[in-house]
Amino acid sequence: MALKRERSEQLYKQALDVIVGGVNSPSRSFRAVGGGAPVFMKRAKGAYFWDEDGNRYIDYLGAFGPIILGHAHPAVTEAIVQTAADGTLYGTPTEKEIRFARMLREAIPSCEQIRFVNSGTEAVMTTIRLARAYTGRDKILKFAGCYHGHSDLVLVAAGSGPSTLGIPDSAGIPQSIAQEVITIPFNNLDALREALDRWGDQIAAVLVEPLVGNFGIVPPQPGFLEKVNEWVHQAGGLVIYDEVITAFRFHYGGIQTMYGVEPDLTALGKIIGGGLPIGAYGGRREIMEKVAPMGPMYQAGTMAGNPLSMAAGIACLEVLSRPGVYERLDEMGKRLADGIGELARNYGIPVQINRQGGAFAVYFTEEPVIDYEGAQRADSEMFARFFRLMLDEGIYLAPSKYEAWFLTLAHSDEDISDTLQAVDHAFKQMKK
């Protein structure tokens, strides 16, 4: 039965008047799932959301990634409240920044030196500038379908072939910038070889999500990351890992520490802020020393390293460093993903599920998904139908077929059972 969301609808009308599109980030709108009012949430605790109409949802959005402990985790809340009482922003260095940077370096040793910023966008944007400053080259190579924030250089789509330069993916981005970006399919070493043969001596860096979290969940094929490192270094470029989604999601560290393949620079965000705004970038000391005030590359931030984000991040990582955390996320992820797969088979609904630990993607397609084209081929209408049916079952999924389901430590076995029951109901409707 459809849940009543009258107040969300009223608020959406009000929001449309004063906030462009009614949302402060386009991925929050419901355009990719048939449009209409998004759900306005009022409160969140643990694994649940409550909307403005009083409906409760089990949350698998995880705020697009940062919320891995569950909402309003007591350790994070307490750290924020205590820190706020001592002032929220100083514009001076603080000890917490050192503590937190050390924690990050211990977990991700390739980040010999770190700089905090305010978002994943800023972190990635700065690693690109730094790679350019360090190599004296201008071009960037990235992989189709990966989202790296909204700075100009990464909002460039692939041209017509693997060895063509990019085209702007957003209005307002000059062609001259798009020309500096090459975009090739993920997991495709032939395309990488071709691009490096053609542009290798101009490429400052290859930017890669070492495990893609932006067209579902797509792990690298065995040997892919190793070859990226080897070939890009041979060509004299740097390797940047965008671990904004992946760091601290699957184990206490990054994909780089899980697989043992180190990049030159790393961009971080999301989970490391414990739910507060944050980004960070880090890398080899000799490269990081190009950053002001040490070196010629400028980057700054009024809010960077602010005490609240530091305190929330430290508290979040402390919880994540406890034994059993990632095993629990993996166990729940497996039970839920396997359960969905089994239900889909029973109902004869074609799905592919890609899972890593407590994150997975459900693609409505018959073919395995290893790159963006595969994810694009997944049935958007089926996803939109499924999304709506799940919403009415009180299950909040990200409103896009390209987003992953994220489990948190707050999800219980009962939540998983309830979710599987909701999936059963949804699939039954979809087969009617």
Task: State the minimum distance, in angstroms, from the CB of residue 242 to ligand PLP.
Answer: 5
Window 275 to 334, contacts with ligand PLP (CB under 6 A): 279
Note if 53 is an active site residue. Answer: no
Task: State the minimum distance, in angstroms, from the CB of residue 249 to ligand PLP.
Answer: 11
**Cα–Cα dist 414/391, whole Å:** 18
Residue 220, preceding peptide bond in cis (omega within 30° of 0): no
Contact 308, 276 (CB under 8 A): yes
**Cα–Cα dist 371/46, whole Å:** 33
Total residues contacting ligand PLP (rule CB under 6 A)?
16
Q: Closest by alpha carbon to 129, among 296, 304, 270, 301?
A: 296
Window 236 to 275, contacts with ligand PLP (CB under 6 A): 242, 244-245, 269
Contact 58, 415 (CB under 8 A): yes
Whichever of 279 and 307 has its CB closer to ligand PLP, that residue is 279
Tell me the CA distances in angstroms from 292 to 49, 136, 205, 229, 340, one per residue in order. 42, 17, 20, 27, 50
Under rule CB under 6 A, residue 214 binds ligand PLP: yes
* Contact region with ligand PLP (CB under 6 A), list: 69-77, 208-216, 335-343, 392-400: 208-216
Whichever of 129 and 388 has its CB closer to ligand PLP, that residue is 129
Whichever of 132 and 148 has its CB closer to ligand PLP, that residue is 148
Instruction: Say which of 96, 142, 270, 401 is annotated catalytic.
Output: 270
**Two tokens at 396?**
């909040």
DSSP state of 180: T
Task: State the minimum distance, in angstroms, from the CB of residue 33 to ligand PLP.
Answer: 18
Tell me the CA distances in angstroms from 230 to 87, 163, 355, one per residue in order. 47, 20, 27
Task: State the minimum distance, in angstroms, from the CB of residue 419 to ligand PLP.
Answer: 23
Comparing every residue's Cβ against ligand PLP, the nearest one is 120
Instruction: Say which of 59, 242, 264, 371 is annotated catalytic.
Output: 242
Whichever of 176 and 302 has its CB closer to ligand PLP, that residue is 302
Window 139 to 158, contacts with ligand PLP (CB under 6 A): 147-149
Task: State the minimum distance, in angstroms, from the CB of residue 415 to ligand PLP.
Answer: 24
Window 386 to 415, contacts with ligand PLP (CB under 6 A): none
**Cα–Cα dist 80/193, whole Å:** 48
**Cα–Cα dist 81/3, whole Å:** 35
Instruction: Say which of 12, 147, 281, 402 is annotated catalytic.
Output: 147
Note if 42 is an active site residue. Answer: no
What residues contact residue 17 under an 8 Å CB cut-off, 6+ apart? none
Kindly tell me which residue out of 121, 126, 135, 257 binds ligand PLP, with binding defined by CB under 6 A: 121
Contact 249, 212 (CB under 8 A): no
Contact 157, 148 (CB under 8 A): no
What residues contact residue 241 under an 8 Å CB cut-off, 6+ apart? 208, 209, 210, 254, 255, 256, 263, 265, 266, 267
Whichever of 111 and 344 has its CB closer to ligand PLP, that residue is 111
**Cα–Cα dist 253/241, whole Å:** 13
Task: State the minimum distance, in angstroms, from the CB of residue 218 to ligand PLP.
Answer: 12
* Contact region with ligand PLP (CB under 6 A), list: 30-38, 95-103, 114-122, 258-266: 114-122
Note if 347 is an active site residue. Answer: no
DSSP state of 197: H
Q: Closest by alpha carbon to 100, among 262, 251, 304?
A: 304
Task: State the minimum distance, in angstroms, from the CB of residue 421 to ligand PLP.
Answer: 30
Q: Closest by alpha carbon to 310, among 71, 94, 100, 67?
A: 100
Window 360 to 389, contacts with ligand PLP (CB under 6 A): none
Contact 182, 139 (CB under 8 A): yes
Kindly tell me which residue out of 22, 120, 166, 216 binds ligand PLP, with binding defined by CB under 6 A: 120
Task: State the minimum distance, in angstroms, from the CB of residue 151 to ligand PLP.
Answer: 9
Kindly tell me which residue out of 69, 104, 124, 344 binds ligand PLP, with binding defined by CB under 6 A: 124
DSSP state of 76: H
| β-pairing verdict for 56-59 and 395-396 | parallel
* Contact region with ligand PLP (CB under 6 A), list: 46-54, 180-188, 206-214, 419-427: 206-214
Whichever of 110 and 214 has its CB closer to ligand PLP, that residue is 214
The set of catalytic residues is 147, 242, 270
Contact positions toward ligand PLP, by CB under 6 A?
Answer: 64, 119-121, 124, 147-149, 209, 213-214, 242, 244-245, 269, 279
